[in-house]
Structure 1
Amino acid sequence: MDREETRLRRSPFLVRDAALQKYLQDMACKLAGNHCPDVRVYPVRTPFFNASMAPNGMMQVWTGLLLRVDNEAQLAAVIGHEIGHYLQRHTLERLRDVKSRSAFGMFLGMFGLVGLVGQMATLAGAFGFSRDQERQADQIGLALMRQAGYDTHEAPKVWDNLQLELAAMHGGDPGLRNPLFASHPGSAERGDKLRELSAGDEASYVGEAEHRRALAGLQTQMLEDELKRGQTRETLALLNRLVERQPERADLLYGRGEARRLRAADGDLDLAQADFQRAIALGSEPAEVYRSLGYLHRSRDDAEQAREAFGRYVEKAPAAPDVAMIKSLL
């Protein structure tokens, strides 16, 4: 495992943001208590909802998870869950259950070759925790949240939101269809149980503003990565929810507009243009909104408006890697 951790530290998928790494490590330490020295958290640029923890204390937190949680308490619910697995040695038990050397190599690859979701899906059946272990980790995670002063009422919201997002793509309970969650209790059951366990707790620290600040420098990148997943229904379900919560966020309006532009179903281009214009009106729009607006006008054969939008993109992002290509469209 130490060798795999070394590979992870060198991986191009590792998010090398010192402030974010400290934010995540400090949160893990609050939750882990005396086990803090044993836990090392690595943010990984992968646009899927996931976190995982190896038997040696190496934890990955994927950027897709960071994008989807609304506040620090919700993130603490997931990190606390993974620490629960670690404290109960669940991952070590699964490792001991591995029968073949090839499967063992795949298990190590899960931690070393980050971002390979197909590999994660393959491993889910062979190395997934039992549902009892998942329930136990949820209970421990909730207890760790409580001890650290986090609002435990936020924990079930993580699974409620995820269920809504994936149901937009698959219908029904996504936990029954998504291989990353196949071994977990159903999302509805999980949310209901966490609500039951937290029912008597008083409201406490949520940390929404702190969470936003920690991710401020990564938001546009995370949105771009989410759009590249190509799962437009899921992405729109996610962004509709985020825009509803934070209508003042120009970057979220850009992301939703771009998802609609890329899908280009009936009415999508009009809705996309409205989102882009709202983002611009807020005055804090990312440069990418002008590039997308240029492509939208170009698809409608409005050459003049397209050139104007592309020109604004070049002006606002002169060092962007695609500037030369965009200039060729002016």
Structure 2
Amino acid sequence: MIAPHRRSVLGGLCSCGLLGLGGCVTNMANEAPMTAGYRPQSDTDEGGLWYIVDRVERNVERSRYRVRDPDWNTYLTDIVRRLSPDLHADMRVYLLRAPYFNASMAPNGMMQVNSGLLLRAKDEAQLAAVIGHEIGHYTQKHGLARMRDAKARADVGIFLSMGLALAGVGAAGDLANLLLIAGQYSYSREHEREADEIGLQRMAAAGYRPMAASEVWQQLIEEDEADPNRQSPSVLFATHPAQQERMETLKGRAQQISGGDRHADRYRTHISKIRALLLEDELRLRQYDRSLVLLRRLQAETPEDGELIYFEGEVYRLRDGDGDRRLARETYEKALAAGGCPPEAWRALGQIQRKDSQHDAARGSFRRYLELKPEADDRMIIKSYLERSV
């Protein structure tokens, strides 16, 4: 696993989401839902779409951003199997190291799950809600409908040029172009509502608590509203049904379906192995106010989690606004008292103490850091400071 670059990652995460193209108004009444083992004839428009997506999938398989951890890939595949016992054999799941909330489903059965989604799901049921929604797009062949609508609106040239680029024939375009395309060419609101309904039904059949679907949407709204730089709705919100409407619709439907489990403990067991890495990626986005909303939501589940408290301190340190240095110091101290935080908490506290001219305290913090992590990559720098400050 490697540190993600925003432009390259976004190219990967957008690739499948763009393949169908078009805010669709095509009547899908004559298109049969997906069946097990289905593959279109190569001389049809659907066959041509699958050809492009198959080429994209080969690139995804080799992608440097693909997470190849066998435990997580087995875990995600098992969730897909529970949600889709009828079609799971035709689906492949790829986990990508991309710190954005997203999952996408291509017409040929390729699913991409971003690591940013894993960080934002509070339990397995919430993750299953997103995956079930994407399976809904797949079963109803919404990607095919989007392509046909694009052709009907004379956008086939855009479709072909972008499809070839994503398949590796040409350049995939810069970040701005990808965002523009992602905002303009997306599922219709009718398709999103249909996928929501199918996702809820599959969650209930698999034994998950359907209310988790509305909770995911509420959490996204909270993050979006916390961003002080937000001038307009995000791409995600701009192309979906109205935020409040969708959340309330999902909640209302879930209330009609009783039972279901969250499998929170099972999810925490899996996420604990990679959570620190995901949080590091989250901070690289420099969306500090949104990250604070996320961290506080996670802390509400486990308030004495030293690792989560440490990363909250990192937000304050990196944001470096008025009063943030004091907040960072207090938060690091709280993390160390709670226990379970990484050794880097001592280094970060030492950095704050050094800036505040508390040199004796800083030396003590740095020494404790090296005791806990003697092979740290920055040990020579820390040792040099300790030698100079004696």
* TM-score, length basis structure 2: 0.77
Q: 1:278 to 1:24 in 2, by over 3 A?
A: same
| Counterpart-to-counterpart distance in 2, 1:163 and 1:12 | 31
**Aligned pairs for 1:105-144 within 5 A:** 105=164, 108=167, 118=176, 120-144=178-202
Q: Could you tell me which residue of structure 1 aligns to residue 50 of structure 2? A: none
**CA deviation profile, 1:65-92 (whole Å, cap 9, x unmatched):** 1111100001110000001011111123
Q: Are residue 99 (structure 1) and residue 156 (structure 2) matched?
A: yes
* Contact 2:228–2:289 (8 Å) recurs in 1: no
| Counterpart-to-counterpart distance in 1, 2:125 and 2:80 | 12
Residue of structure 2 aligned with 1:210, choices 256, 262, 266: 266
Q: Could you tell me which residue of structure 1 aligns to residue 254 of structure 2? A: 198
Q: Are residue 64 (structure 1) and residue 116 (structure 2) matched?
A: yes
Residue of structure 1 aligned with 2:310, choices 230, 254, 257: 254
Q: Given residue 191 of structure 2, which amino acid in structure 1 is its aligned partner?
A: Q
Q: 1:305 to 1:105 in 2, by over 3 A?
A: farther
* Contact 1:153–1:203 (8 Å) recurs in 2: no
Q: Cα distance, 1:193 vs. partner?
A: 0.5
- Higher RCO (CA-CA < 8 Å; seq separation 6+): 2
Q: Cα distance, 1:226 vs. partner?
A: 0.7
* Contact 1:106–1:123 (8 Å) recurs in 2: no
Q: Could you tell me which residue of structure 1 aligns to residue 330 of structure 2? A: 274
**CA deviation profile, 1:111-133 (whole Å, cap 9, x unmatched):** x98xx865642322342111111
* Contact 1:288–1:313 (8 Å) recurs in 2: yes
| Counterpart-to-counterpart distance in 2, 1:146 and 1:103 | 37
Q: 1:165 to 1:79 in 2, by over 3 A?
A: same
Q: 1:117 to 1:291 in 2, by over 3 A?
A: farther
Q: 1:233 to 1:215 in 2, by over 3 A?
A: same
* Contact 2:347–2:366 (8 Å) recurs in 1: yes
SS of alignment partner, residue 34 of structure 1 = coil
**CA deviation profile, 1:277-330 (whole Å, cap 9, x unmatched):** 222122211122122212222222223322332333333234444444444443
Greater C-alpha Rg: 2
| Counterpart-to-counterpart distance in 2, 1:86 and 1:58 | 9
* Contact 2:59–2:167 (8 Å) recurs in 1: no
* Paired residue total: 324
Q: Are residue 228 (structure 1) and residue 228 (structure 2) matched?
A: no
Residue of structure 1 aligned with 2:355, choices 293, 299, 305: 299
Give unmatched runs, 5+ long, in structure 1. none
| Counterpart-to-counterpart distance in 2, 1:117 and 1:93 | 26
| Counterpart-to-counterpart distance in 2, 1:323 and 1:89 | 55
**CA deviation profile, 1:246-278 (whole Å, cap 9, x unmatched):** 112111101111101112223322222222122
Q: 1:265 to 1:58 in 2, by over 3 A?
A: same
**CA deviation profile, 1:14-60 (whole Å, cap 9, x unmatched):** 12211111111100111112101111111111111111111111111
**Aligned pairs for 1:33-182 within 5 A:** 33-96=85-148, 97=150, 99-100=156-157, 101-105=160-164, 108=167, 118=176, 120-170=178-228, 177-182=233-238
Q: Given residue 95 of structure 2, which amino acid in structure 1 is its aligned partner?
A: P
| Counterpart-to-counterpart distance in 2, 1:215 and 1:305 | 34
Q: Given residue 211 of structure 2, which amino acid in structure 1 is its aligned partner?
A: H
Q: 1:182 to 1:53 in 2, by over 3 A?
A: same
SS of alignment partner, residue 60 of structure 1 = strand
SS of alignment partner, residue 217 of structure 1 = coil
Q: 1:203 to 1:156 in 2, by over 3 A?
A: same
Deviation beyond 4 Å, 4+ runs, structure 1: 106-109, 116-120
* Contact 2:56–2:166 (8 Å) recurs in 1: no
Q: Cα distance, 1:156 vs. partner?
A: 0.4
| Counterpart-to-counterpart distance in 2, 1:325 and 1:123 | 45
SS of alignment partner, residue 156 of structure 2 = coil
Q: 1:266 to 1:24 in 2, by over 3 A?
A: same
| Counterpart-to-counterpart distance in 2, 1:247 and 1:138 | 32
RMSD: 2.3
| Counterpart-to-counterpart distance in 1, 2:96 and 2:282 | 14
Q: Given residue 233 of structure 1, which amino acid in structure 2 is its aligned partner?
A: D
Q: Could you tell me which residue of structure 1 aligns to residue 243 of structure 2? A: 187
* Contact 1:121–1:180 (8 Å) recurs in 2: no
| Counterpart-to-counterpart distance in 1, 2:246 and 2:204 | 18
Structure richer in helix, relative to its length:
1
Q: 1:3 to 1:106 in 2, by over 3 A?
A: closer
